[in-house]
Amino acid sequence: MSAIPLHRCPDLEIKLDTPKGRGVFATKDIPAKTVVDVCTVLVLGLEENALYVGRTALYHYTYNWPVADESGKKRIAQAVVFGLGSMFNHSTQEQNVSWERNAEHEIITYRALRDIRAGEELCISYGSRLTFKDTDAPTPPPPEEEMEQLLQIQLE
Protein backbone atom coordinates (compact mmCIF):
# COMPACT_ATOMS: atom_id res chain seq x y z
CA MET A 1 0.00 0.00 0.00
CA SER A 2 1.52 3.37 -0.92
CA ALA A 3 1.00 6.50 1.18
CA ILE A 4 1.86 10.19 1.17
CA PRO A 5 3.07 11.76 4.43
CA LEU A 6 1.10 14.92 5.22
CA HIS A 7 2.38 18.11 6.84
CA ARG A 8 0.45 21.22 7.76
CA CYS A 9 1.94 24.12 9.64
CA PRO A 10 -0.38 24.72 12.64
CA ASP A 11 0.47 28.41 13.03
CA LEU A 12 -2.02 29.71 10.48
CA GLU A 13 -5.44 31.33 10.38
CA ILE A 14 -7.89 32.36 7.67
CA LYS A 15 -8.79 36.06 7.73
CA LEU A 16 -12.22 36.58 6.26
CA ASP A 17 -12.30 40.21 5.23
CA THR A 18 -9.11 41.23 3.44
CA PRO A 19 -9.07 43.31 0.21
CA LYS A 20 -8.49 39.97 -1.59
CA GLY A 21 -11.38 38.20 0.18
CA ARG A 22 -10.36 35.38 2.50
CA GLY A 23 -6.62 34.81 2.92
CA VAL A 24 -4.12 32.70 4.90
CA PHE A 25 -2.11 34.49 7.61
CA ALA A 26 0.69 33.43 9.99
CA THR A 27 -0.15 33.50 13.71
CA LYS A 28 3.50 32.82 14.67
CA ASP A 29 6.84 33.28 12.90
CA ILE A 30 7.37 30.56 10.28
CA PRO A 31 10.98 29.72 9.33
CA ALA A 32 12.06 29.60 5.67
CA LYS A 33 11.55 26.21 3.95
CA THR A 34 8.80 25.08 6.38
CA VAL A 35 6.23 22.87 4.63
CA VAL A 36 3.09 24.94 5.05
CA ASP A 37 0.68 22.35 3.60
CA VAL A 38 0.51 19.26 1.42
CA CYS A 39 -2.75 19.28 -0.56
CA THR A 40 -4.39 16.60 -2.64
CA VAL A 41 -5.93 17.58 -5.98
CA LEU A 42 -8.73 16.36 -8.22
CA VAL A 43 -7.69 16.52 -11.86
CA LEU A 44 -10.62 17.49 -14.09
CA GLY A 45 -11.21 16.01 -17.53
CA LEU A 46 -10.33 18.41 -20.37
CA GLU A 47 -13.96 18.51 -21.57
CA GLU A 48 -15.41 18.57 -18.09
CA ASN A 49 -13.51 21.77 -17.39
CA ALA A 50 -14.35 23.52 -20.67
CA LEU A 51 -18.05 22.58 -20.59
CA TYR A 52 -18.89 22.93 -16.92
CA VAL A 53 -16.29 24.03 -14.35
CA GLY A 54 -14.98 26.90 -16.50
CA ARG A 55 -18.47 28.42 -16.33
CA THR A 56 -18.70 28.40 -12.55
CA ALA A 57 -17.02 30.19 -9.62
CA LEU A 58 -14.71 27.17 -9.30
CA TYR A 59 -12.90 28.51 -12.37
CA HIS A 60 -11.12 30.99 -10.05
CA TYR A 61 -9.85 28.19 -7.80
CA THR A 62 -8.38 25.64 -10.21
CA TYR A 63 -4.70 25.21 -11.07
CA ASN A 64 -3.13 24.28 -14.42
CA TRP A 65 -2.25 20.60 -14.38
CA PRO A 66 -0.17 18.76 -17.02
CA VAL A 67 -1.84 15.65 -18.47
CA ALA A 68 -1.54 13.47 -21.58
CA ASP A 69 -4.61 13.04 -23.84
CA GLU A 70 -5.69 9.71 -25.43
CA SER A 71 -3.01 10.05 -28.13
CA GLY A 72 -0.30 10.74 -25.54
CA LYS A 73 -0.08 14.44 -26.47
CA LYS A 74 0.78 16.75 -23.57
CA ARG A 75 -2.16 18.99 -22.60
CA ILE A 76 -2.93 21.40 -19.78
CA ALA A 77 -5.94 20.34 -17.71
CA GLN A 78 -7.30 22.00 -14.57
CA ALA A 79 -7.21 20.62 -11.05
CA VAL A 80 -9.26 21.46 -7.97
CA VAL A 81 -6.97 21.73 -4.93
CA PHE A 82 -8.27 20.63 -1.55
CA GLY A 83 -7.14 22.19 1.71
CA LEU A 84 -5.35 25.50 2.06
CA GLY A 85 -4.16 25.41 -1.55
CA SER A 86 -7.44 27.01 -2.61
CA MET A 87 -7.16 29.78 -0.04
CA PHE A 88 -3.75 31.27 -0.86
CA ASN A 89 -4.05 34.66 -2.55
CA HIS A 90 -1.71 35.92 -5.25
CA SER A 91 1.02 38.48 -4.83
CA THR A 92 3.04 39.79 -7.77
CA GLN A 93 5.84 41.27 -5.68
CA GLU A 94 5.63 39.77 -2.20
CA GLN A 95 5.07 36.06 -2.60
CA ASN A 96 6.47 34.17 0.36
CA VAL A 97 5.23 30.65 -0.41
CA SER A 98 6.27 28.36 -3.28
CA TRP A 99 4.19 25.52 -4.67
CA GLU A 100 5.35 22.34 -6.32
CA ARG A 101 3.18 19.86 -8.21
CA ASN A 102 3.71 16.14 -7.91
CA ALA A 103 1.77 14.89 -10.95
CA GLU A 104 2.30 11.22 -10.14
CA HIS A 105 0.84 11.46 -6.63
CA GLU A 106 -1.58 14.28 -7.49
CA ILE A 107 -0.48 16.51 -4.65
CA ILE A 108 0.90 20.04 -4.29
CA THR A 109 3.46 20.91 -1.61
CA TYR A 110 3.56 24.51 -0.34
CA ARG A 111 6.76 25.78 1.34
CA ALA A 112 7.83 29.05 2.98
CA LEU A 113 10.20 30.80 0.54
CA ARG A 114 11.71 32.89 3.31
CA ASP A 115 11.15 33.59 7.04
CA ILE A 116 7.54 34.71 7.42
CA ARG A 117 6.66 36.94 10.37
CA ALA A 118 3.57 36.51 12.58
CA GLY A 119 0.74 38.58 11.09
CA GLU A 120 1.97 38.36 7.48
CA GLU A 121 -0.26 37.01 4.73
CA LEU A 122 0.97 33.87 2.97
CA CYS A 123 0.83 34.49 -0.79
CA ILE A 124 1.79 32.44 -3.81
CA SER A 125 2.21 33.42 -7.46
CA TYR A 126 -0.64 32.58 -9.84
CA GLY A 127 1.59 33.53 -12.81
CA SER A 128 1.12 36.48 -15.12
CA ARG A 129 -2.40 35.87 -16.49
CA LEU A 130 -4.75 37.02 -13.75
CA THR A 131 -8.55 36.82 -14.04
CA PHE A 132 -9.14 39.64 -11.50
CA LYS A 133 -7.84 43.11 -10.65
CA ASP A 134 -4.72 42.65 -8.50
CA THR A 135 -5.23 44.76 -5.36
CA ASP A 136 -1.49 45.04 -4.71
CA ALA A 137 -0.27 45.51 -8.27
CA PRO A 138 2.37 48.26 -8.52
CA THR A 139 0.84 51.60 -9.54
CA PRO A 140 2.06 52.65 -13.00
CA PRO A 141 3.89 56.00 -13.09
CA PRO A 142 1.83 59.05 -14.19
CA PRO A 143 1.99 59.59 -18.03
CA GLU A 144 4.31 62.66 -17.76
CA GLU A 145 6.82 60.69 -15.68
CA GLU A 146 6.63 57.77 -18.12
CA MET A 147 7.33 60.12 -21.07
CA GLU A 148 10.30 61.63 -19.20
CA GLN A 149 11.71 58.13 -18.58
CA LEU A 150 11.26 57.26 -22.29
CA LEU A 151 13.05 60.44 -23.42
CA GLN A 152 15.84 59.69 -20.98
CA ILE A 153 16.30 56.21 -22.50
CA GLN A 154 16.31 57.61 -26.05
CA LEU A 155 18.94 60.25 -25.15
CA GLU A 156 21.32 57.71 -23.57
Ligand X SMILES: C[S@@+](CC[C@H](N)C(=O)[O-])C[C@H]1O[C@@H](n2cnc3c(N)ncnc32)[C@H](O)[C@@H]1O
Residues forming the site for ligand X (CB under 6 A) = 20-23, 60-61, 86-87, 89-91, 132, 134-136
**CB-nearer residue toward ligand X: 82 or 146:** 82
**CB-nearer residue toward ligand X: 127 or 142:** 127
Spatial distance between the Cα atoms of 129 and 141, rounded to a whole number of angstroms: 21
Spatial distance between the Cα atoms of 22 and 87, rounded to a whole number of angstroms: 7
Minimum Å distance from CB 81 to ligand X? Answer: 8
Sheet holding 62-68, edge to edge: 62-68, 74-81, 35-43, 107-112, 97-102
**CB-nearer residue toward ligand X: 112 or 123:** 123
Minimum Å distance from CB 87 to ligand X? Answer: 5
Minimum Å distance from CB 155 to ligand X? Answer: 36
Spatial distance between the Cα atoms of 102 and 122, rounded to a whole number of angstroms: 21
